[in-house]
C-alpha cells in the first residue's frame, strides 16, 4: 500500500487545496499518470501518481485545503479489489430498494383525513347589547356581520338606524381606478410606462479561485515581510535587438521556437548575480543565507493567475539553453504539467511585463528571495548620443529589492552591471 501525500510546492508553502480528483476509487492508475489537481499561490497543476496500482482510498475530498505531507489517498500496488475502495456512502444506493416499497402515505393518511374533514364555521361573535327582531331580520336579509356595526343605543345596542347607516356607508363606491382611455385617444408615448432605470449598482458576484486566493495571500505576506524599494534603469538594447533580428528565423527553423529578449536579460542578470551574490541570497530571521547556485524563476502568466517556474543552474546555460528552458517551462506551466520541484528553490526572479506592452513596473518580491527584476517592452526611441539624436532600441529594467538586506547603492551597482552586459553584448547566441 502506497500513501499519496500533499506535495510541497514552494519553500514558503505550508498547505495546498485539492481541487479535483482525476481518478475514482477502484480505478487502475499507472506510475506518473496524473492523479489529482492542486492549487497553491505558486502553482495550479496536476500531481502524478507515485506508484502503479489501484486507487483504493480517497481521504481528502475535492475543495479541501490540507497541510503539506498530509496523506490524501492510498494506492494498492497489488491491485486490490475495488469493493474495498468504495467509500462507506456507496452502501446507500443498495439499501434504497428495501426502503422504496414501504409507502409512507398510509401512515400519514389519518392526520390528513382529519385535517381535510370540514368543520362547521365558527359562530360570529355576538355584538354588544341585545338585538331587536327587526335588526336581526335586516342582518339576515342583507347578509351583514353585525360585529362590524357600531351601535349607538344604550350600552352599545345596535339600532335600525345604525344598520341603515352602515349599509349606506358600505354602498358608497370606492374610488374606481381610472378607466383606460380608448386606443385612439391614448398618446403613443405614455401608452407604455417607461421601465425604471436598471440602476448603477447591479453586479455579478464570483468567488476567487483557489489560486487567486493563494496569490493574494502570498503577495500581502511579501509586502508585510520585506521593505520593498524599486530602482529603474534605462538600457540601450540596440546590439541585442540587431543580434536577435539576425538569428530569429534561424532559431525558429532549427529549434521550433523563436528568440526573445528574455534569455539575454536572464544571461545579463546571472552575470550581475555572480558579481553581487547578496542579491542571490535570502534572509532567515537575522541570518543571511548565501546560495552558491543560481536558480532563476521566470514568471509565467496564466489565464487565472501567475506561476514562477525555476530555471535551475541558470548560470550554466547560454542564450540557447535559457531560451529552450523558458519555452519549455512556460508551455508546461500553461498545460499544468509542471512537477513540484520545478516551482521551488528559486534564488532570484524575473518578470517580463514588457511582453504585454508595459514600459516598466514595480514587481513584488517572491519570498523568500530578496530581489526581483522587471523587464519592460523594447521600443525604438530617439535618444541623444554625443550631442546627436539617434534612434535606439530602449528597454527599462526595474529591480525591486528588500531594503532590510540590500541598500540602494548595491542595487544600482547590480543594475549597472546588467546594463553594461546588455549594451555591450559580445556573446554568440548559438
Q: Which residues are catalytic?
A: 403, 407
Beta carbons of 226 and 402 less than 8 angstroms apart:
yes
User: How close are the terminal C-alpha atoms of the chain, in Å?
Assistant: 49
Q: Is the dihedral of CA 409, 414, 417, 419 positive or negative?
A: negative
Residue 25: CB partners within 8 Å, gap ≥ 6? Answer: 55, 56, 57, 58, 82, 85, 86, 87
Here the cell at position 230 is 524599486
Beta bridge partners of residue 32, listed in sequence order: none
Query: Rounded distance, CA 301 to CA 377, Å?
Result: 16
Q: Residue 129: which of 155, 162, 160 has the closest Cα? A: 155
Reduce the DSSP state of residue 372 to 3 states and report it. Answer: strand
> How are beta strands 53-58 and 28-29 bridged, if at all?
antiparallel
* Overall residue count recorded for the chain in this entry: 430
Q: Which of 385, 378, 362 is nearest to 265 (CA)?
A: 378
Amino acid at each position: 500500500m502506497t500513501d499519496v501525500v500533499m506535495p510541497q510546492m514552494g519553500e514558503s508553502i505550508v498547505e495546498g487545496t485539492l481541487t479535483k480528483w482525476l481518478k475514482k476509487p477502484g480505478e487502475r492508475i499507472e506510475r506518473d499518470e496524473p492523479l489529482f489537481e492542486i492549487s497553491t499561490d505558486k502553482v495550479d497543476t496536476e500531481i502524478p501518481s507515485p506508484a502503479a496500482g489501484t486507487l483504493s482510498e480517497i481521504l481528502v475530498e475535492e475543495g479541501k485545503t490540507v497541510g503539506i505531507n498530509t496523506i490524501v489517498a492510498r494506492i494498492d500496488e497489488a491491485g486490490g479489489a475495488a469493493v474495498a475502495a468504495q467509500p462507506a456512502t456507496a452502501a446507500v444506493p443498495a439499501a434504497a430498494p428495501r426502503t422504496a416499497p414501504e409507502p409512507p402515505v398510509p401512515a400519514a393518511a389519518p392526520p390528513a383525513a382529519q385535517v381535510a374533514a370540514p368543520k362547521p364555521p365558527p359562530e360570529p361573535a355576538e355584538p354588544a347589547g341585545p338585538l331587536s327582531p327587526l335588526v336581526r331580520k335586516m342582518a339576515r336579509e342583507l347578509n351583514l356581520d353585525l360585529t362590524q356595526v357600531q351601535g349607538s343605543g344604550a350600552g352599545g345596542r345596535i339600532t335600525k338606524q345604525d344598520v341603515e347607516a352602515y349599509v349606506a356607508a358600505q354602498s358608497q363606491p370606492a374610488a374606481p381606478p381610472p378607466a383606460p382611455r380608448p386606443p385612439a385617444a391614448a398618446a403613443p408615448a405614455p401608452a407604455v410606462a417607461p421601465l425604471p432605470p436598471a440602476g448603477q449598482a447591479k453586479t455579478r458576484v464570483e468567488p476567487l479561485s483557489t489560486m487567486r486566493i493563494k496569490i493574494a495571500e502570498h503577495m500581502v505576506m511579501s509586502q508585510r515581510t520585506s521593505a520593498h524599494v524599486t530602482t529603474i534603469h534605462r538600457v540601450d538594447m540596440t546590439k541585442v535587438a540587431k543580434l536577435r533580428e539576425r538569428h530569429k528565423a534561424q532559431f525558429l527553423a532549427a529549434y521550433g521556437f523563436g528568440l526573445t529578449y528574455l534569455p539575454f536579460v536572464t544571461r545579463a542578470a546571472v552575470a550581475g548575480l555572480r558579481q553581487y551574490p547578496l542579491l542571490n541570497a535570502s534572509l532567515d530571521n537575522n541570518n543571511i543565507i548565501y546560495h552558491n547556485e543560481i536558480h532563476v524563476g521566470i514568471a509565467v502568466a496564466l489565464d487565472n493567475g501567475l506561476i514562477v517556474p525555476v530555471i535551475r543552474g541558470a548560470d550554466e546555460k547560454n542564450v540557447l539553453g535559457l531560451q529552450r528552458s523558458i519555452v519549455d517551462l512556460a508551455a508546461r506551466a500553461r498545460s499544468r504539467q509542471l512537477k513540484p520541484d520545478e516551482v521551488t528553490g528559486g534564488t532570484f526572479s524575473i518578470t517580463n511585463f514588457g511582453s504585454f506592452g508595459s514600459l516598466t513596473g514595480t514587481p513584488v518580491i517572491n519570498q523568500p528571495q530578496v530581489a526581483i527584476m522587471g523587464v519592460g517592452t523594447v521600443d525604438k526611441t530617439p535618444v541623444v548620443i554625443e550631442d546627436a539624436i539617434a534612434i535606439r532600441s530602449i528597454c527599462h529594467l526595474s529591480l525591486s529589492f528588500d531594503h532590510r538586506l540590500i541598500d540602494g547603492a548595491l542595487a544600482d551597482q547590480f543594475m549597472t552591471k546588467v546594463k553594461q552586459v546588455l549594451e555591450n553584448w559580445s556573446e554568440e547566441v548559438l
